[in-house]
Amino acid sequence: MANYIFQVIKSLTIVSVCLEFYFDAVVATKEDASKHLELGKQMLAAGNLVEALSHFDVAVEKDPTNYLTFFRRATVYLALGKSKTALPDLDKSIELRPGFVAALTQRGNVYLKMGNLAAATKDFEQIYRADPNNMEALQYLQQIEPLEAEIEQAKVFYKNQDYQGAIILLSKAIDLIPWNAELREIRAECYIAQGDLVKAVSDIRPTTKLRNDNTAGYFKLSNLYYEMGDADESLSQIKECLKLDPDHKECFPFYKKVKKLAKQLKEAQEYSNNEQWEDCVNKAKQIMKTEPKAFPFVHTAKSHICHCLAKDGHGTDAIKECNEVLDMDPDNLNVLCDRAEAHIANENYDDAVHDFQQAMNIDQESRRAREGIERAQKLLKNSKKRDYYKILGVKRNAKKKTIEKAYRKLAVKWHPDKYEGEEDKKHAEKMFMDIAAAKEVLTDKEMRAKYDAGEDPLDPEQQQGGGGHGNPFFHGFNPFGNGGGQGFNFKFHFN
């Protein structure tokens, strides 16, 4: 008997020691949890959400019976935009402390923003029943009450093609229910029907996050950007669709088309920037083969063709292309300036002045239009004087070799030594001097640039300190030497 009692006492002692260790461990664990809870609160107050979440995770693990730990972690999830992840923590917090007003308010607010009106009403009613003086809960209930009917009416408006009426009601609802994908999708369709693609994009974009694996949302978004002419952003969105489903039956073929088009658009712009005019035109024509219908891309391609042909001196062809762009977009300042450049290439300076003036009417601050009209007016004035291009019979975009070749041919033709009669010789001398002057200006890069800008570098009227009205040789240039062409006899060297 004594032995039995001894064993019982021994067992109780062991149990007592174990319980003591257990309770000490529980106390230590709870103290550790409290420490992390406090650190998490400090990080949250400092705006360091990631660190705060890390501490709250540890606190929950150490003490899963503390309702505040779950509530604090839910607050961080909400701040990080993870509302669905926050709900289980709010549920647990309310389970551990029924009637916890702060958690009920947060959960009701999350349900409301998601569009779960029944669940939101239940939470706010629970708060209001416990405390009829809680004005926040009452205000939420008063806002929720008409929402369901208004949403149904908005859907009726949409079905009946009263898009503006639907937008008004949906906008009111979305202000309170911003995390509901369906409402945003319906409003986006209304905006699309009204032709407001920018606003449609602003509604579809958040739905790609509100719905899990929303390939349809990304496909829709990509198509909207495509319709707006933004191939790069369209490509970016269709790639997001393929990340979710690499073999998506709609996204994959669309991806191939957009990728090709985006590359062509980029190359056409690079060719234009690098003044590779012929390559620019060819690439723009490829764009139109890839996408012959969508207005923004057709407009861009034709604008490239207009610009690059004008810059390359193909006046007539450029004017035709520019006219087509202006038929689509009459107030396109850049295309008006491009057409003006094409008119200059065709030596139609009056038309060039008119186009630059029209561009100025669109934007008085346009440097290109202002400088263009000044140049066109100078060229118009100079066209009534000497035209070096006409003298040599070359186009305005002629290369230096072409100019030199034309000069040599004409110099041989009008060499004064070939003429005997006094009148014929004088005429030949004048022609020879004009040819030589034209060659000097057009084969000198700086002088030609001045001339193309509407200034004759051999006209003393346009130069400071010039003398001798109309004398093209005031710079000392004289193909006949000091004799001025009178009684000369020399060997002429072509260079």
Domain range annotation of the chain = 29-147, 390-495
CA angle 94, 50, 34 (to 5 degrees): 50
Comparing 16 with 73, which gets the higher pLDDT?
Answer: 73
Q: What DSSP character marks residue 134?
A: -
Looking at per-residue confidence, does 456 or 408 come out higher? 408
Judge contact between 181 and 204, C-beta under 8 A: no
Q: Is the pLDDT of residue 444 over 50?
A: yes
CATH superfamily of 29-147: Tetratricopeptide repeat domain (1.25.40.10)
**CATH code, residues 390-495:** 1.10.287.110
DSSP assignment of 69-133, as one string? HHHHHHHHHHHTT-HHHHHHHHHHHHHHSTT-HHHHHHHHHHHHHHT-HHHHHHHHHHHHHH-TT
CB neighbours of 147 closer than 8 A, spacing ≥ 6? 117, 173, 176, 177
Rg from Cα positions in the chain: 41
Q: Are 123 and 103 in contact (CB under 8 A)?
A: no
pLDDT score recorded for residue 418: 86
Q: What is the pLDDT of residues 100-157, one digit of tens each?
A: 999 999 999 999 999 999 999 999 999 999 999 999 999 999 999 999 999 999 999 9
Give the per-residue pLDDT at 269.
Answer: 97
SS3 for 213? Answer: coil
Residue 27 pLDDT > 50: no
Q: 342-378 pLDDT, tens per residue?
A: 999 888 999 999 999 999 999 999 999 999 999 999 8
The pLDDT, as a whole number, for residue 365 is 94
| Whether the predicted pLDDT of 458 surpasses 90 | no
In angstroms, the CA 373 to CA 121 distance is 68
Collapsing DSSP to helix, strand or coil, 50 comes out as helix
Q: What pLDDT was estimated at residue 138?
A: 95
Tens-digit pLDDT profile for residues 412-428: 998 888 888 887 788 88
Report for 11-25, 184-198, 397-411, 418-432: range of highest mean pLDDT? 184-198
Please, which pLDDT band fits residue 171 given cuts at 50, 70 and 90? very high
pLDDT of 19 above 80? no
Integer Cα distance of 346 and 389 in angstroms: 12
How confident is the model at residue 127, as a pLDDT?
A: 96
Residue where the block lists tokens 């002629």: 398
> Do 493 and 486 touch, CB atoms closer than 8 A?
no
Give the model's pLDDT for residue 470.
42
Selection from 217, 235, 218 nearest residue 226 by Cα: 235
d(CA 458, CA 30): 96
pTM above 0.75, yes or no: no
Average the pLDDT over 310-317 and give the result.
92
Rounded to whole angstroms, how far apart are CA atoms 342 and 329? 18
Residues 177-180: contacts with CB under 8 Å, at least 24 apart: 177/112, 177/113, 177/114, 177/115, 177/147, 178/113, 178/206, 179/83, 179/113, 179/114, 179/115, 179/210, 180/113, 180/114, 180/115, 180/210
Q: What is the pLDDT of residues 66-84, one digit of tens each?
A: 999 899 999 999 999 899 9
pLDDT for position 456: 83
Give the model's pLDDT for residue 4. Answer: 52
Place of tokens 């708060």: 127
Q: How confident is the model at residue 491, as a pLDDT?
A: 41
Q: Examine the pLDDT at 466 and tell me if it is beyond 60.
A: no
Per-residue confidence at 9, pLDDT binned at 50, 70, 90? low
Alpha-helical runs (H) found in 383-421: 388-392, 400-413
Distance CA(109)–CA(35), nearest Å, equals 29
The structure tokens 């094409």 sit at 342
3-state secondary structure of 349: helix
Identify which has the larger pLDDT, 200 or 63: 200
> Per-residue pLDDT tens for 336-350?
999 999 999 888 999
Indicate the average pLDDT of the chain.
87
Using pLDDT thresholds of 50, 70 and 90, give the confidence band for residue 15: very low
> What is the spatial distance between Cα 235 and Cα 264, in angstroms, rounded to a whole number?
13
CA 160 to chain centre: 35
Which amino acid, 85? Answer: T
